[in-house]
Chains A and B, each alone.
Chain A
């Protein structure tokens, strides 16, 4: 089993490496380069040449990639083009904010959606199941900002329970921070909970069609007993994968939500970087997002190997 896990981790690292090349190459191979993107079409060849030299673009691509990547691993992302500030110092507090928000949402979403998903599976076809089905389908079908604005309109503007903008700062008391970020956290929760609920339900139900489940029913066990003690342990692997995948989705979903609530996170930072065409910032944020995504996916795979007894003893 150790070998399978090790293979998976190595594969994750290789993917990360390939992705870092892709991120770097996306800004290299494509026609034009950072200099012409920043200076725009009006730039003379002379200013372009000087600017390229200043950015070090006159050196071959693989040398710059090696420099960029080794720097990035050590936390040195270089300086932002627009304000010349060190990217790491601007990213760190924002990353903390984003992780806080994502963690907050995950803490509500994971137990809630797994419990509701199992409940829906137990009551398959009954009113509760169909209600959960319709509500989660509707949540998946609408854009993130729609849910966010609805929540703002009712909970912030009409009822005044929460502020409509999530302004946070470093030395804010924890309870206050939870209150201020409640709306974006609830929005994120609704987004991922819907996915998780549906996938938990369907992975429990797909186990339910197995012969040993029929056997359990034939023994005369109740439906909830069959689901909880026979189906659930075997459905655990897909459910854990689903959770990790959705946490990965949470990391991305956070971008739009941060913009809606003007929350100072890394998603907003990246969007700002894109509109200012600040490529080093965009590359750094892209790499951080991608590594979080790949890490969570790898963790999902490793966990599903650990909990699945059949994968634990390979022949």
Chain B
């Protein structure tokens, strides 16, 4: 089988399989989970058994069911953040490249200042203002993350703006919006696709981290970061409860990374793009 006109490597297949399985779990959560999301079915931190495959959590809810519902919440929120971040970042990035020096300078300097504060610290400040709720969380992370998308989109688009076909379109009298959407965006897409995977991983870990700090997705919703937090104390008694959601987070991140690595290997990243953080 070929994807994007290339044959995936074995590792890429592993990554694709992980993404497929976890997406299915997230979509069909209510059908797959053996118990209700919030149902207390046993004692606190009961050991793994036939009816509770991974045991129970801090108030006796089934770990497997929580993990299944948590997939929906954690992956869903991270995906929403990434999509929103790409809409904002790409639009502004292309606008900066097409819209002239002044606009470019203003946008780029604002992004520079925002990037000079650690993202987590910035997010903490905004969350302290609004309090944690899912829309706040998604918008906050999306805006902060869009600074990085902006950088890449701008870097890619700046190289495209000087091409002859863009000049031709400009001379034809096409507007700014046409130039961005029809001339530049399609050609800027390939590097943006692998960036989407990287940003997803980052946002995913970020959402999980914030929930772990108790500032992300709030109970009663099951989410993996929050589950690690709720069960954290168990580790001192040698109970592995907090490790399961942490393992789930790791598997998804590694899976997406494997696919991203493969996409990167088929189209080399353009200069000016950075994969850090």
Give chain A interface residues in 13-48, CB to chain B under 8 Å.
15, 18-19, 22-23, 26-27, 30, 32, 37
Nearest residue (CB) in A for B127 is A274
A290 pairs with B116, CB closer than 8 A: yes
Q: Is B21 an interface residue (CB 8 A)?
A: no
Are B250 and A283 neighbours in the complex by a CB distance under 8 Å?
no
Neighbouring B residues of A221 by C-beta, 8 Å: none
Q: Is the CB of A143 within 8 A of B205?
A: yes
Contacts of A293 in B (CB 8 A): 116-118, 121
A262 nearest in chain B by CB position: B232
Please determine whether A143 and B113 come into contact, CB atoms closer than 8 angstroms. no
Q: Mark B94-136, 1 if CB is under 8 A from A, else 0.
A: 0000000000000000001110111111101111111100000
B240 within 8 A of A: yes
State A132–B1 Cα separation when bound (angstroms): 32
Q: Are A144 and B209 in contact (CB under 8 A)?
A: yes
How many chain A residues touch B (CB < 8 A): the figure is 53
Residues of B within 8 A of A153 (CB): 235, 238, 240, 243
Contacting residue for A277 out of B117, B131, B249, CB 8 A? B131
Q: Is B44 an interface residue (CB 8 A)?
A: no
Contact, CB under 8 Å: B249 / A149: no
Q: How many residues of B contact A (CB 8 A)?
A: 45
**Mask for A83-127, Cβ within 8 A of B = 1, else 0?**
000000000000000000000000000000000000000000000
Does B214 lie at the interface of the complex (its beta carbon under 8 Å from any beta carbon of A)? yes
- Residues of chain B from 117 to 171 with CB closer than 8 A to chain A in the complex: 117-122, 124-131
Q: Is the CB of A141 within 8 A of B238?
A: no
CB of A19 within 8 A of CB of B117, answer: yes
Is residue B29 contacting chain A, with contact meaning CB distance below 8 A?
A: no
Contact with B along A138-156 (1 / 0, CB 8 A): 1001111110011011001
Docked pose: A62 CA to B276 CA in angstroms: 36
- The one of A30, A146, A278 that contacts B130, using a Cβ cutoff of 8 Å: A30
Task: Please measure, in the bound complex, the distance between the C-alpha atom of A258 and the C-alpha atom of B129, giving whole angstroms.
Answer: 22
For the complex, give the distance between the alpha carbons of A164 and B121 in Å: 26
A142 and B250: CB pair below 8 A?
yes
In the assembled complex, the Cα of A277 lies from the Cα of B214 at a distance in Å of 13
B201 lies within 8 A of chain A by Cβ = yes
B228 on the A face (CB < 8 A): yes
In the complex the two chains form, is A22's CB within 8 Å of B235's CB? no
Q: How far is the CA of A293 from the CA of B124 in the complex (A)?
A: 16
Q: Which of B190-227 contact A (CB under 8 A)?
A: 201, 205, 208-209, 212-215, 225
Assess the A26–B243 pair: CB atoms within 8 A: no
Write the B73-96 contact mask toward A (1 if CB under 8 angstroms, else 0). 000000000000000000000000
Please pick, from B112, B116, B209, B235, the residue contacting A149 in the complex, using a CB distance under 8 A: B235
Nearest chain A CB to B112's CB is how many angstroms away? 8
Known: A255-B213, A274-B215. A152 touches B235 (CB 8 A): yes
* Bound Cα distance from A249 to B124, whole angstroms: 16
Decide yes or no whether A237 CB sits under 8 A from chain B: no
Known pairs A157-B236, A248-B118, A252-B121; A18 contacts B113 (CB<8 A): yes
Q: A51: CB under 8 A from chain B?
A: no
Which residues of B are found within 8 Å of A19, using beta-carbon distances?
A: 113, 116-117
A12: min CB distance to chain B, Å: 9
> What is the chain A residue whose CB lies nearest that of B116?
A15
* In the complex, A297 has a CB within 8 A of chain B: yes
Decide: A32 near B129, CB < 8 A? Known: A146-B247, A252-B118: yes
How distant is the Cα of A233 from the Cα of B121 in the complex, in angstroms? 35
Closest A residue by C-beta to B252: A141
Residues in A whose Cβ lies below 8 Å from that of B113: 15, 18-19, 22
Do residues B118 and A283 form an inter-chain contact, with CB atoms below 8 A? no
CA distance A285 to B122 in the complex (A): 11
Query: Which of B112, B118, B235 lies at the interface centre, i.e. has the most chain A CB atoms within 10 A of its CB?
Result: B118
Q: Is B65 an interface residue (CB 8 A)?
A: no
Q: Is A279 an interface residue (CB 8 A)?
A: yes
- Give Cα distance in the complex from A138 to B258, angstroms: 11
* Smallest Cβ-Cβ distance to B112: which chain A residue: A15
Q: Are A275 and B205 CB-contacts (below 8 A) given A22-B117, A30-B129, A145-B228?
A: no
Nearest-Cβ distance from residue A213 to partner chain B, whole angstroms: 21
A259 within 8 A of B: yes
Interface residue? B246 (CB, 8 A): yes
> Which residues from chain B contact A252 at a C-beta distance below 8 Å?
118-121
Min CB distance B107 to A, Å, is 15
Given A30-B130, A158-B238, A260-B232, verify A143-B125 contact (CB < 8 Å).
Answer: no
With a cutoff of 8 Å between Cβ atoms, the chain A residues found around residue B276 in the complex are 245
A157-B237, A157-B238 given; 14 more Cβ-contact pairs under 8 Å: A22-B113, A27-B125, A32-B129, A146-B250, A149-B235, A149-B243, A152-B236, A248-B118, A252-B118, A252-B121, A255-B124, A282-B124, A289-B121, A293-B117
Residue pairs across A and B with Cβ atoms less than 8 A apart, 9 shown, are: A19-B116, A26-B122, A27-B125, A32-B130, A149-B232, A153-B243, A156-B236, A248-B118, A294-B116
4 smallest A-B Cβ distances: which pairs? A146-B246, A142-B250, A252-B118, A274-B128
